[in-house]
Amino acid sequence: MNIEEIVRKVVEELEKKPKPDHSPKKQESETDIVPFSEEREKGVKEPHNASAIERAQSITPARIGIGRAGTRMRTASYLQFRIDHAAAQDAVLKDVSDSFLHDMQLHKLETKAQDMKTYLMDLDAGRQLSEDSVKWLQENGDMGMDVQIIICDGLSSSAVEANVKDLLPALMQGLQLKNISVAKPFFIKRSRVWVQDEVAALVDCDLVISLIGERPGLNTDESLSAYMIYRPTAKTVEADRTVISNIHQGGLAPVEAGAHLSELIGQMLVAGCTGVSFARKNSLKS
């Protein structure tokens, strides 16, 4: 076999091999999206009382009747658990977006908690306004109103963004229809419930209400609470506050909560108190 025949054979063999793929490679950060259904799983096989499981699942978001695989939960249940846990962590660690505050026309104040670690570890830091925020409130706050509304991220920024858009207008409208004067609301970053005491003292209002994100759980990361206090002082304790919790689409709907809170606040202003004292006065009336 001469050299030309050898070369021809080699060329033929090379042409039979698949050509290398020169298309752009997928970046490492890109991942395939795997669809996952979040419908509640009925994982108990051949249950003794299927109707009891269905009834329980219909009245609570708790993980009831999800079944198991050996000694462990089923894969779908485990994945849903991880999703809910991640959402709860995000609710605590992420900030309320500036675009949301702009759309809601909420000026942003801050507490003495300069970062999330301080906020979580030092309770007092989240209960006191920063020096700049105190100065702004003294110069720009609406003084001497019946009610001051403050929006607080608390432990769930997700709760603020999910509910305040509907709750705040309903609350303000309800108060205005009752001829109750309302100061312009504002937002306080990394704040706790007791910051409302300092705010009330600075703006000299009769009642302050804090709309604050609740600690997220594995059932929802969007639950909001409303804490109300009438004329707080240095001697104010938790029993002096009234709280309406579980405000979210799966609990007390935000619009309904706004109407209910405005009615409640109207009664509190007449009674001149909140908390246990208000509950006691209401029980005596009934």
Give the annotated binding-site residues for adenosylcob(III)alamin: 193, 214
Residue 5 inside a domain? The answer is no
Residue 63 inside a domain? The answer is no
Residue closest to 54 by CA, chosen among 37, 46, 42, 45: 42
Residue 209 inside a domain? The answer is yes
Per-residue pLDDT of the chain (286 residues; tens, 9 = 90+): 556 666 566 566 666 656 555 555 555 455 555 555 555 556 777 777 878 877 877 776 677 777 777 777 777 776 766 666 666 565 555 778 999 999 999 999 999 998 888 888 898 999 999 999 999 999 999 999 999 999 999 878 888 999 999 999 999 999 999 999 999 999 999 999 999 999 999 999 999 999 998 876 555 678 899 999 999 998 999 999 999 999 998 889 999 999 999 999 999 999 999 999 999 988 777 5
DSSP 164: H
Structure tokens at 177: 């229809």
Residue 268 inside a domain? The answer is yes
b/e code 5-31 from CB counts within 10 Å (16+ = b) = eeeeeeeeeeeeeeeeeeeeeeeeeee
Q: In which residue are the tokens 């409302």 written?
A: 196
Residue 40 inside a domain? The answer is no
DSSP 180: -
Across the chain, the runs of DSSP E, i.e. the strands, are 107-110, 147-152, 186-189, 207-213, 224-230, 242-247
pLDDT of residue 144: 97
Residue 78 inside a domain? The answer is no
pTM of the predicted structure, to 2 decimals: 0.72
Give the annotated binding-site residues: 193, 214
Number of domains in the chain: 1
Residue 164 inside a domain? The answer is yes
**Boundaries of domain holding 157:** 98-285
Residue 153's CATH number? 3.40.50.11240
User: Strand 186-189 relative to strand 147-152: parallel, antiparallel, unpaired?
Assistant: parallel
Distance of CA 72 to the CA centre of its chain: 30
Distance CA 88, CA 249 (A): 16
Name all contacts of 76-83 with Cβ < 8 Å and 24+ positions apart.
76/36, 76/37, 76/41, 76/43, 77/41, 77/43, 79/36, 80/38, 80/41, 81/218, 83/36, 83/38
pLDDT of residue 217: 57
**In 3-state terms, what secondary structure has residue 71?**
coil
- Hey, what's the torsion of the CAs at 119, 121, 126, 130, to 10 degrees? -70
Phi/psi for 246 (5° steps) reads: 60, 40
pLDDT of residue 89: 60
Distance CA 189, CA 119 (A): 10
Sheet with 107-110, strands from edge to edge, namely: 107-110, 186-189, 147-152, 207-213, 224-230, 242-247
Overall residue count recorded for the chain in this entry? 286
Residue 64 inside a domain? The answer is no
User: Strand 147-152 relative to strand 107-110: parallel, antiparallel, unpaired?
Assistant: unpaired
Cβ contact 207:227 at 8 Å: no
